[in-house]
A and B are shown apart, each in its own frame.
Chain A
Amino acid sequence: MNLNVRTISCDPDRFESFLSGELSDTEERELTLHLNTCEHCRRTLEQQAAEPGAWQEAENLLKPLGFDSPAIDENSDSGLLKYPTRQPLQIQSVLDALRPTDDPEMLGRLGGYEVSGVVGAGGMGVVLKAVDKSLDRTVAIKVMAPHLASSGAARKRFAREAKAAAAVLHPNVIAIHSVSNDESLPYLVMPYMRGTSLQKRLDREGPLSLLEILRIGSQIAAGLAAAHAQGLVHRDIKPANILLEDGVERVTITDFGLARAVDDATITHSGVIAGTPQYMSPEQARLPNRLAVKPWNSAATCSASAACCTPSVPAAHRFEQNRRTASCDASSTKSRLAFANSIRISPNGFAGSLTG
């Protein structure tokens, strides 16, 4: 503690006014500068703001649980209430950022799009359903989460996803209609597809038949091959990122948020785990030092696509998402087994395409 500073302006009487927002801008600035150096006042202010138990409770209760944002599915039967049920903070903040619309049926406006609903929410942002007025077509808009939009790194990653996905033109890879990176919230516009994710399908209906594994797996492989031909590795292939369209037998790979160029070496030594642990390839997860990660390569991505189709990854493991090492262990034993099984039951050609 700097005694000089303290004698000059330690003034705990100001704290209560500050906490209730009653100080003038100048007084606030003075207090802030004082707090910059005075350890004593920092502690006093924090105690006055709330008792230590409240600080602790805030940390414990507001910490993400890993499953706190149920995707909102407009076709689901959760419409018991006439009002929207509690929306995760992220969705609410995206909706709040929309511009007003004259259309009473719509939630708001984003660029030239009229937003009619929320399709889901993920780590990077929120997916909205909207109408492109000029072309009169329905689209899905992935909007970056506002708390990320202020981060340069996150914006770059978002732009990379857009660029990566837009570069691949293939029936099994999500198309990108357009991208906006200038507005306060970056977003990318994709076709709106009626359907369900492979994850939901597995959750609701259980294991796929061999025929379905072949049908879906071969389409995932074809889409990934097209991406690889553009020099891209998806790195986060998992059932939640595979869309099954209603009525047509088409499979679409989405979410290139973690995609990297094949020759991009930055990840190799960064010690950051890319991808979702349950669906990482065995060779990626099984490492001497579990936090060191080998780069994704096409074989790794393809074996993840096999794991996607083999729901033998036990449901229990999906709840271990925050326990990375446990998941990695599971991946290296049980899902490797599942993967091996899927190869044994598969015709050679298919197994070849997955492991190649």
Chain B
Amino acid sequence: MTEFPETRESLLLQIKSPANREAWDQFALIYQPVIYRLARHRGLQDADAQDLAQQVLMAVASAIGSWEKTNESVRFRHWLRRVARNAIINVLSRRPRDRGAGGSSVQELLMEQPLPDSESDAQIELEYRREIYLRAARIVRGDIEPDTWRAFEITVIENRSIDEAAVELNKLIGTIYAARSRIMRRLRETVQELEKAES
């Protein structure tokens, strides 16, 4: 895998506007795991999936400079998502052998206009949505008691019974109902906030 140690900094420096830098950070934070999971779903190993996420983000980052010069009319976030979508579909549609080589120019991922691919679009959308949920879960979990979160985790995420949760956590059944409802509400609110921030 080609490394780009010295380009890394300069790529980031290319983003001049502070608002855009922040948008980029948010974007990369969300898309890195999204691309990683998409790659794992397609059968790539951990290390290769990480490399691939890196490669796509590199490609997108390398195009930012030109966007800032010419394209101020399109919202930066939307532009990022569109470029990323194309790069993801391009990289995933390569045959595994070509992917492994990796050394090919990151620019190639941006040059090709992929064919419409509704299946990939749906997968990207799903993984994006999953990332929003995971982030929301981390936020909600951060400011509640561990047992309260466990009540939600056991009964909703693990889809086990209320009774099991009550026994495992040594709590009243009513407490489990109360806890999981309140977390569900907070989770939904947090998801909505994150979605709004990203749109």
Give the contact stretch, choosing among B30-38, B63-71, B77-85.
Answer: B30-38
Give the contact stretch, choosing among A78-86, A124-132, A156-164.
Answer: A78-86
**Contact assessment for A315 and B43 in the assembled complex, using a CB-CB cutoff below 8 Å:** yes
Interface size class of B (residues with CB under 8 A): 35 or more
**Contact assessment for A46 and B46 in the assembled complex, using a CB-CB cutoff below 8 Å:** no
Chain A interface secondary structure, helix, strand, loop or mixed? helix
Residue B187 CB within 8 A of the other chain? yes
Q: A85 with B29: in contact, given A54-B188, A62-B133, A70-B46 (CB under 8 Å)? A: yes
| Mask of B101-131 contacts with A, CB within 8 angstroms, 1/0 | 0000000000000000000000000000111
| Residues 150-190 (chain B) with a chain A CB within 8 angstroms | 150, 153, 156-159, 172-175, 177-178, 180-182, 184-185, 187-188
**Contact assessment for B188 and A50 in the assembled complex, using a CB-CB cutoff below 8 Å:** yes
Chain B interface secondary structure, helix, strand, loop or mixed? helix
Residue B134 CB within 8 A of the other chain? yes
**Contact assessment for A33 and B174 in the assembled complex, using a CB-CB cutoff below 8 Å:** yes
Please, which residues of chain A bring their CB within 8 A of the CB of B181?
19, 45-46, 48-49
**Contact assessment for B156 and A49 in the assembled complex, using a CB-CB cutoff below 8 Å:** no
**Contact assessment for A81 and B43 in the assembled complex, using a CB-CB cutoff below 8 Å:** no
Which 6 A-B pairs rank lowest in CB-CB distance, beginning with the nearest?
A36-B174, A35-B174, A49-B181, A61-B133, A49-B185, A32-B174
A-B contact pairs, 12 of them (CB 8 A): A31-B178, A32-B172, A34-B174, A35-B174, A36-B173, A36-B175, A54-B187, A59-B157, A62-B134, A77-B54, A80-B8, A86-B32
By a beta-carbon cutoff of 8 Å, the part of chain B in contact with chain A is: 1, 3, 5, 8, 12, 25, 28-30, 32-33, 36-37, 40, 43, 45-51, 53-54, 57-58, 61, 129-131, 133-135, 137-138, 141-142, 146-147, 149-150, 153, 156-159, 172-175, 177-178, 180-182, 184-185, 187-188
